[in-house]
Amino acid sequence: MEDVAVLNELEGNLASLFDRHLGMTKEWFPHKLVPWERAAALNFDQAWSGDRLPLPDAVRSALFVNLLTEDNLPYYFETINRVFRSEAWDAWTRRWTAEEMRHSIVIRDYITVSDALDPDELERARMGQVSLGQVPQPESVADGLVYVALQELATRISHRNTGKLLDDPAGYAVMARVGADENLHYMLYRDLVSAALELDPSGTVCAIERQVRTFEMPGAGIAGFTKHAAAIAAAEIYDLGIHHDQILVPVVLRYWKVEELTGLDDEGQKARDSLINRIERIGRIAKKRAAAKPEARAEVSAPA
């Protein structure tokens, strides 16, 4: 189906899912989650040492990547606003943007007052990341919906797992709150993909196959990303096994039920076969990496 037709047909689904979202979301305030009392001991004239909040390097890498990913919001908005264009979609996109903007605010304030990262290095990296503006560019509405569903869930998992390893109640509360937002966003996009599968099963399966095949951990494009991703994977904050067990199997296979779809054309059937084979292959590779040394877990995506 043409993108305009897909958008028009999905507007009713979006309206009901948007209403559900508004009914489930809770008002919260970034400034109330930040432990501001820690700021009294800050001295930005001194060289950063990391001594005030001892953390494993992997957790610092995760905070670094998580925050810079949230900082790239203008370009995620630009992409979503380009792909999903109508009055109804515009209303959702604006609401999504307003909610997402809180994430970088609260994570940065927490990091700053806790002295968790070198603030000078972080600001240089933010300037570089936002100046680059690298984000995926889906080729169709279906691709866009699939990507944001997978991306929002991956981000939720990364935030929550980072919070668990902080060993700091304030940090855990921040990351859990952000993760809760990401989960609601994931649910809306996930269910829009389900609706798209009913509307255009073959086209949507082809989009799922493309997005699973090309998926990158949120944050790709950040300076030093490969090094940070390796540390994050080694600490099991987000690795190939998590990608397989907590995203591909429960969402693609169980929730979207791609193996049970009927009415696929030849292209859709071929894409489904390739998709299922790829997920099985990712699972095998993930198991091998889990049994290997931590540094072997660095890649999130399976080899092509």
pLDDT in tens, 123-140: 999 999 999 888 888 889
- Quick one: what percent of the chain has pLDDT higher than 90? 76
Q: Which two tokens stand for residue 196?
A: 């798209």
Q: Which two tokens stand for residue 253?
A: 């296979």
Mean pLDDT of the residues in the chain: 92
**What confidence score (pLDDT) does residue 52 get?**
86
Question: Model confidence at 206, in pLDDT bands (50, 70, 90)?
Answer: very high
- Quick one: what percent of the chain has pLDDT higher than 70? 95
Q: Over 80: is that where the pLDDT of 293 sits?
A: no
Q: What is the pLDDT of residues 224-257, one digit of tens each?
A: 899 999 999 999 999 999 999 999 999 999 999 9
The pTM of the whole model exceeds 0.85: yes
| Contact present, 75 and 81 (Cβ < 8 Å) | no
| Contact present, 150 and 217 (Cβ < 8 Å) | no
**What confidence score (pLDDT) does residue 295 get?**
56
Domains in the chain, please, with CATH? 3-23+55-297 (1.10.620.20)
* DSSP alpha helix (H) spans, the chain: 3-24, 30-33, 57-71, 73-83, 87-114, 119-132, 141-165, 169-199, 201-214, 225-234, 240-243, 266-290
Q: Over 50: is that where the pLDDT of 303 sits?
A: no
DSSP state of 40: G
The closest of 62, 76, 85 to 225, measured between CA atoms, is 62
Residues 6+ apart with CB under 8 A from 233: 239, 240, 297, 298, 299, 300
**What confidence score (pLDDT) does residue 218 get?**
65
